[in-house]
């Protein structure tokens, strides 16, 4: 049943016109409370970017597809260095082992996303699927993007 739902979701996303898929997310700063929790508004924006760009490969539950698309749940890539994670979004990735497991599908670059969209989706991923780690700020993405251009 879960696979049927995932298939229907993918088919529905494929039927959305390309112009509708590129709808920009309004710019906001990722807001955290004194306890470090990310606001619901930031998570909602991140989830919207995830659904548009990531769900097809990494699945609704963030568990990916064995040997094809890596999971986003509790992996060193998601929980670790933010710069490495931002660089994967900006530059794409292929043929990397994630936590000792091989994944062979190409992840394309998503450098067309704004700094805020990247920050929002990475904050969502780093706060979802059993993950509980710090938010990514748009300023961090901007700095890493600028360093890539040098």
Within a domain: residue 3? no
Instruction: Report the SS3 class of residue 51.
Output: helix
- Rounded to 10 deg, the angle between the 82-91 and 138-149 helix axes is 60
Q: What is the DSSP letter of 27?
A: P
What does the pLDDT read at residue 3? Answer: 52
pTM value > 0.95: no
Cα(10)–Cα(56) distance, rounded to whole angstroms?
A: 6
Cα(73)–Cα(124) distance, rounded to whole angstroms?
A: 12
Residue 36: CB partners within 8 Å, gap ≥ 6? Answer: 134
Within a domain: residue 123? yes
- Residue 66 belongs to a domain with what CATH number? 1.10.760.10
Within a domain: residue 111? yes
How many domains would you assign to the chain? 1
Tens-of-pLDDT digits for all 150 residues of the chain?
A: 445 444 444 444 444 444 344 444 444 444 544 335 788 999 999 999 999 999 999 999 999 999 999 999 999 999 999 999 999 999 999 988 999 999 999 999 999 999 999 999 999 999 999 999 999 999 999 999 999 887
Within a domain: residue 9? no
Within a domain: residue 61? yes
Whether the CB-CB separation of 71 and 95 falls below 8 Å is answered with no
Domain limits for position 70: 39-149
Whether the CB-CB separation of 94 and 104 falls below 8 Å is answered with yes
Whether the CB-CB separation of 94 and 69 falls below 8 Å is answered with no
Whether the CB-CB separation of 50 and 125 falls below 8 Å is answered with yes
Within a domain: residue 28? no
Within a domain: residue 88? yes
């Amino acid at each position: 049943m879960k696979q049927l739902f995932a298939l229907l979701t993918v088919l529905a996303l494929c039927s959305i016109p390309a112009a509708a898929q590129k709808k920009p997310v309004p710019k906001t700063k990722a807001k955290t409370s004194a306890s470090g929790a990310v606001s619901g508004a930031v998570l909602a924006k991140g989830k919207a970017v995830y659904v548009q760009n990531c769900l097809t490969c990494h699945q609704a539950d963030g568990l990916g597809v064995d040997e094809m698309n890596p999971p986003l749940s509790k992996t060193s890539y998601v929980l670790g260095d933010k710069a490495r994670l931002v660089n994967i979004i900006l530059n794409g990735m292929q043929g990397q082992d994630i936590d000792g497991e091989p994944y062979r599908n190409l992840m394309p670059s998503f450098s067309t996303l704004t700094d805020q969209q990247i920050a929002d989706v990475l904050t969502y991923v780093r706060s979802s699927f059993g993950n509980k780690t710090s938010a990514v700020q748009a300023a961090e993405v901007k700095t890493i993007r600028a360093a890539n251009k040098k």
